[in-house]
Amino acid sequence: MRRPLPRVGILLLSVALLTAHTAASAQQPPDAAASPDEAKRLGDEAMVALRYEDALAHYRRAYDATKSPALLYNMGRAYEGLSDFPKALDALEEFAEKAPADLKARVPKLDSLLSDLRKRVATVIVSSPVTGAEVRLGNKVIGTTREGQTVLRVNAGAQVISITHKDYFPFEKPLALVAGKIETVEAQLSSRSAGALIVVTSPISGAQVAVDGVSSGNVPAEVATKPGQHRVSLRKDGYDPAEQSVVVIAGERKQIALTMAVHDTLASKWWFWTGIGVVVTAAAAITIVAVTKEKPADSGTIAPGTVKAEAFGFRF
């Protein structure tokens, strides 16, 4: 659900907009024929009605014609209403940069507003050798890869980034995006025509993946490889290792799920002495034989006098 803007935040800045839009307007589609003044008025009405997408369309039309900084402020508030905090921050930072002092004075809490938005925005830097791949965060397209690094502002929080291109296997990775922090994603896309992709998942969080003995990070992991048979293994302290062979063909994306059993050791259990006997051998060696039984942590004790070896001068 879209959260409504706070009452104090529905302040909309008004300016004298240009109305000379004659010859060009005549060639525009009917829905774009409104004058800048009319587009601004329709945007304000849509904002009051909480129709933020409509408001943005009207404000953009007015801004394209006038380049008025006041419209940047209004567009920023519309983006905030849509919970698109990165674009809201972009618009309001541009307003703060371009607006004259008398216009900014009409927004006395601008610094507070910018600070609040920055607490909702993280930065993702995507690196990939493949250019033109589509970058999504959840179900939303946020950009495309290009040569070098692609820097994107995004909403903070738990997200899944996916990078897709028709000629390559998709890349996917869960992210825990922290406001004000930078997350770097190295996306190595594997060609569909020449390679294969093994996707390894497990209910054991943090388990380490290796393919053919080569470490491939933690689950969930996507490993680009050559067609053929491969050995996938999973390891984590406290668990028995797991391993599985998998065969992939060129162009295949194969997903396997591995689990591991908890490593069963004496130290991992609560063991308590319930009876101790002493056996004396001919060689005068003492062997203590313990009978064990698993009990709750608050009930296991050794009662005084339970262990006796009086022939040898000691007693418990």
Angle between helices 52-66 and 69-81 (to 10 degrees): 160
Q: The pTM is what?
A: 0.59
Please name the residue ranges forming H helices in the chain: 22-26, 36-48, 52-66, 69-81, 85-98, 101-104, 110-118
For residue 179, pLDDT beyond 80 = yes
Strands 149-155 and 221-225, by their bridges, are unpaired
- From edge to edge, which strands make up the β-sheet containing 221-225? 221-225, 196-201, 253-257
Q: Do domains 121-186 and 196-257 have the same CATH topology?
A: yes
Of 19 and 164, which is predicted with more confidence?
A: 164
* pLDDT of amino acid 18: 40
* pLDDT of amino acid 119: 95
* pLDDT of amino acid 16: 47
- Write the pLDDT tens digit of every residue in 187-200: 988 888 877 888 99
Q: Reduced to 3 states, what is the DSSP secondary structure of residue 253?
A: strand
CATH superfamily of 7-118: Tetratricopeptide repeat domain (1.25.40.10)
Average pLDDT over residues 210-220: 90
CATH placement of domain 121-186: 2.60.40
- Write the pLDDT tens digit of every residue in 120-152: 999 999 999 999 999 999 989 999 999 889 999
- Write the pLDDT tens digit of every residue in 36-75: 999 999 999 999 999 999 999 999 999 999 999 999 999 9
Give yes or no for a cis peptide into 129 (omega within 30° of 0): no
Query: 22 pLDDT band (50/70/90 cuts)?
Result: very low
For residue 281, pLDDT beyond 80 = no
Provide the mean pLDDT of the chain: 80
Burial class from Cβ neighbours inside 10 Å (0-12, 13-18, 19+) for residue 6 reads exposed
What are the boundaries of each domain within the chain?
A: 7-118, 121-186, 196-257, 270-315
Residue 154 has a CB neighbour count (10 Å cut-off) of 23
Q: Which two tokens stand for residue 95?
A: 């307003």
Percent of the chain with pLDDT over 70: 74
Q: CATH for 196-257, among 2.60.15.10, 1.25.40.10, 2.40.50.140, 2.60.40.1120?
A: 2.60.40.1120
Q: What's the rounded Cα separation, in Å, for the pair 5 and 140?
A: 22
Average pLDDT over residues 275-288: 47
* pLDDT of amino acid 101: 94
Of 46 and 248, which is predicted with more confidence?
A: 46
Q: What's the rounded Cα separation, in Å, for the pair 268 and 113?
A: 53
- Do 155 and 122 touch, CB atoms closer than 8 A? yes
* pLDDT of amino acid 3: 52
